[in-house]
């Protein structure tokens, strides 16, 4: 009923920038929190950035000051602007959203398929 599709990943040099996008579609009544996670090989998936429906944001210490999460509620889209990228930022980045589906009461978590970000010279 609901799908999240990420885009914008790719190869970038250290110090470079990328902007990731995640668009939600389907039987959406409302979207609450949206977030970005990442997972590197052999590592646990970690929360990178979080955005509440009220506009509050939180970031992992490792990306604070370099990454910015934003959202366009009219487009059901969340973005992650990544600046001053480091090799350790290399990972698959996943979009996550808390969404109320049309015709239901509870709020459910949905995940995107992931997009690869590689930071290398």
Q: What is the pLDDT of residues 14-56, one digit of tens each?
A: 999 999 999 999 999 999 999 999 999 999 999 999 999 888 9
The rounded mean pLDDT for the chain is 96
The pLDDT confidence band at residue 121, using thresholds 50, 70 and 90, is: very high
Coarse DSSP helix, strand, coil percentages of the chain, rounded to the nearest 5 percent: 5, 60, 35
The pLDDT confidence band at residue 84, using thresholds 50, 70 and 90, is: very high
Residue 89 three-state SS: helix
Q: What are phi and psi of 66, to 5 degrees?
A: -115, -35
pLDDT tens, 15-24? 999 999 999 9
| pLDDT value of residue 54 | 87
SS3 for 30-61 is: EEEEEEEEEECCCCCCEEEEEECCCCCEEECC
Task: Please give the span between the terminal C-alpha atoms of the chain, in angstroms, as a whole number.
Answer: 40
| pLDDT value of residue 1 | 87
Compute the average pLDDT of residues 84-96. 98
Dihedral sign for Cα atoms in the order 70, 75, 76, 81: negative
């Amino acid at each position: 009923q609901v799908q999240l599709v990420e885009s914008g990943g790719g190869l970038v040099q250290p110090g470079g920038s990328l902007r990731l996008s995640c668009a939600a579609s389907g039987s959406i009544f409302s979207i609450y929190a949206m977030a970005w996670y990442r997972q590197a090989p052999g590592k646990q998936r970690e929360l990178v950035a979080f955005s509440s429906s009220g506009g509050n944001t939180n970031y992992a210490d490792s990306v604070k000051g370099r990454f910015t999460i934003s959202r366009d509620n009219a487009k059901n889209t969340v973005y992650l602007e990544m600046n001053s990228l480091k090799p350790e930022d290399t990972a698959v980045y996943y979009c996550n959203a808390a969404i109320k589906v049309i015709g239901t009461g509870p709020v459910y978590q949905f995940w995107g398929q992931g997009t690869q970000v590689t930071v290398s010279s």
